[in-house]
Chains A and B, each alone.
Chain A
């Protein structure tokens, strides 16, 4: 029996302010932050001791001990201990993918409610044993006799004491994400000034949203932070222009620490439900998650940019929903780098790219920039990888709700590994 599907409602969200790496959350673990974020959501929606259908969350940088991170966070939270949970990981797409997974189960009637989230810390990052000593210790562990153990231990060398630190680099290319983005920026001739302009707008929009209380029911203070630590309301084109490029090479280098997202710590969570469940619990419906799409590109040998997958996912999503790129009231394009946002918008305007790469008869065209990231995005807020999706879903859902019924928003998030997750929300 094929069940009738229904659109999952977004009831609300909660996140902790995002902190700069080794800043306010330097000593907080992923589990600490996710638990605090879940508890904030529980408090906001009166879910103490209640069981929700499922909690789905993840982290990109994850300790081996955190194999069951989300379930452990649920057990430490005020949710009912009978709430099931599982972890997902799709790099920077984790948070949005988690929301899609929860929404799909709601759509199929398998759960009535669920929480989607994500968390990341670059401060309390996992460090791995040096690969050589790890193998020696595995051999020691597997040894049956003292003699075998001693023989295995004799393989230890002083150089093996140097641990392996996680690098923000693609395993197959050895290039940092910023290096990849710089290649795309150069290819699409994304200028320094337009990147800095987008950055200033992001800071100003986020600051304005905080000032008018937009985040009052989306953010819960944590460890002394009440706003995102990276937010600089007073930043300006002049200040940004003084920064030296950190990615790219030579005169063509345009990407700075200002127009790239910094390493960030933080967590977010979104409450999704069926309309019936929301009504029974006397909770609002901000928006519905209408549809979602993922895509991936061959950035290793195929010549496509690492962060360009959303450019491929969006036209598929539009076609399935009978929409054009212009049929949206708001766009949330994750600001991994200012140049990534601008390159994505630019390829959608290119007839050649849309025809040759995306297989479209006509370009998707341009968007009204006034509808883009209206409450700021990752350049200002920071980007704790897996937490970004939840931040964006909750922010857009509330934005749509404020604008009134029948409004539509598009989310586009690029992710490591050449992947992208995109989704449509409607109020």
Chain B
């Protein structure tokens, strides 16, 4: 295993550009590489912007999804490296698991480390997990696993089967209805650095086969957790499956249901009932 410590977050637009240029001719096994940043401090202004876009209350501890923003640029750097077997453009985020072991103060110096694992076979291609761990004062406080699907890709021989299902209750009751404006992707891109063109505009999304721009799955997840502000355990796991893409603009519904001292949640299209997100939130 090689571990590289970066002094600054990688520049995301450049990474996405490089990813597009180097998409062809990839293959092979997952690299045994870890990327890290040490002593990362949260910029309060950025946190306020993020909280506003996702509707989290601004508080003295981080929203449970915030550390993902610290890990994501490193994960993109890992995926755009030529050693990575799958092409970043076209990768679809299909599942995201976060475990927060303790509340993270906004003033904490955080060590972030990311790696890829679990190259798996899927009926529509192959999946790979991008993992992250975040520590404060030497103790792990947060970890995550983002599962991406590469449609049409082939997993190596002997690879395990992909695990992208999240089972939830019936969730028949509608608890809230959200109007999701057309610029949601641009707004989340501005705070998250995830400038993947499929989120930015109809034109750029069409180039990748989507009829319109689609919302970031992590925005949908964050918005859902924000809707449960005040009702969540301090140490928790949040496991969500991103189902059908949420085409912008949209009107969607949120359903919540208490389950095992946590919550089952679903975000669906308000008219068609198409599932966008199914999730399980549990104390940990």
Contact = CB atoms under 8 A, between A and B. Distances in A.
Interface in A23-53: none
A179 B251 CA distance: 15
B167 interface: no
A174 B228 contact: no
B179 interface: yes
B260 to A, nearest CB: 15
A329 B178 CA distance: 44
Contacts of A172: 176, 227
A301 B177 contact: no
A175 B177 contact: yes
Given A301-B256, A303-B173, A174 B231 contact: no
Nearest to B183: A159
Contacts of B263: 301
Interface in B149-184: 173-179
Interface in B253-273: 256, 258, 263
Among B176, B178, B228, the one with the most A-chain Cβ atoms within 10 Å of its Cβ is B176
Interface in A173-194: 173-175, 179, 183
A360 interface: no
Nearest to A302: B258
Interface string B167-205: 000000111111100000000000000000000000000
Contacts of A303: 173
B231 A301 contact: yes
B173 A174 contact: no
B1 to A, nearest CB: 43
B169 to A, nearest CB: 13
B173 A300 contact: no
A175 B176 contact: yes
Interface residues of A, number: 9
- Chain B contact-residue range equals 10 to 19
B95 to A, nearest CB: 24
Nearest to A173: B176
Given A301-B231, A303-B173, A174 B179 contact: yes
Contacts of A179: 177
A237 to B, nearest CB: 31
A183 B177 CA distance: 13
A179 B179 CA distance: 15
B57 to A, nearest CB: 12
Contacts of A175: 174, 176-177
A305 to B, nearest CB: 11
A174 B177 contact: yes
Nearest to B52: A131
B121 to A, nearest CB: 38
A262 B252 CA distance: 27
Interface string A62-104: 0000000000000000000000000000000000000000000
Contacts of A183: 174
Nearest to B231: A301
Nearest to B173: A303
Among B173, B177, B179, B258, the one with the most A-chain Cβ atoms within 10 Å of its Cβ is B177
Interface string B106-127: 0000000000000000000000
A418 B263 CA distance: 21
Interface string A244-275: 00000000000000000000000000000000
Nearest to A299: B175
B262 to A, nearest CB: 12
Contacts of B231: 301
Nearest to B228: A301
Nearest to A303: B173
B100 to A, nearest CB: 20
Contacts of B228: 301
Contacts of A301: 175, 228, 231, 256, 258, 263
A48 B75 CA distance: 74
Interface of A: 172-175, 179, 183, 300-301, 303
Given A173-B177, A301-B256, 14 more contacts: A172-B176, A173-B175, A173-B176, A174-B176, A174-B177, A174-B178, A175-B176, A175-B177, A183-B174, A300-B176, A301-B175, A301-B228, A301-B231, A303-B173
24 contacts: A172-B176, A172-B227, A173-B175, A173-B176, A173-B177, A174-B176, A174-B177, A174-B178, A174-B179, A175-B174, A175-B176, A175-B177, A179-B177, A183-B174, A300-B175, A300-B176, A300-B227, A301-B175, A301-B228, A301-B231, A301-B256, A301-B258, A301-B263, A303-B173
The 9 lowest CB-CB distance pairs between A and B, nearest first, are: A173-B176, A174-B177, A301-B256, A174-B176, A174-B178, A175-B177, A301-B175, A300-B175, A301-B231
